[in-house]
């Protein structure tokens, strides 16, 4: 069975709230709100993840976040 996986982390500038896009073990997607301080702590996990493609708001054309991709072990 597949494990839950964080697909994207959205952290609006100057906000105390962040949003995770999560693919659950059953294949469904969910948005989960977290404290942005926790999100910034996740930056420590940068050794395991890299910034992926930008996520663009189609209405404003602004970048609202970035996909994350696991770094392949060497």
pLDDT single digits (tens) 3-42:
888 888 787 777 788 888 888 889 899 998 887 766 666 6
Return d(Cα 35, Cα 33) in angstroms, integer: 7
pTM reported for the whole predicted model: 0.48
Q: How many CB atoms lie within 10 A of CB 20?
A: 19
């Amino acid at each position: 069975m597949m494990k839950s996986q964080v697909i994207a982390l959205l952290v609006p500038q100057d906000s105390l709230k962040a949003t995770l896009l999560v693919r659950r073990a059953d294949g469904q997607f969910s948005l989960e709100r977290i404290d942005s301080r926790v999100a910034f702590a996740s930056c420590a996990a940068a050794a395991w993840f890299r910034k992926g493609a930008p996520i663009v708001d189609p209405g404003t054309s602004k970048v609202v976040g970035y996909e994350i991709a696991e770094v392949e072990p060497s």
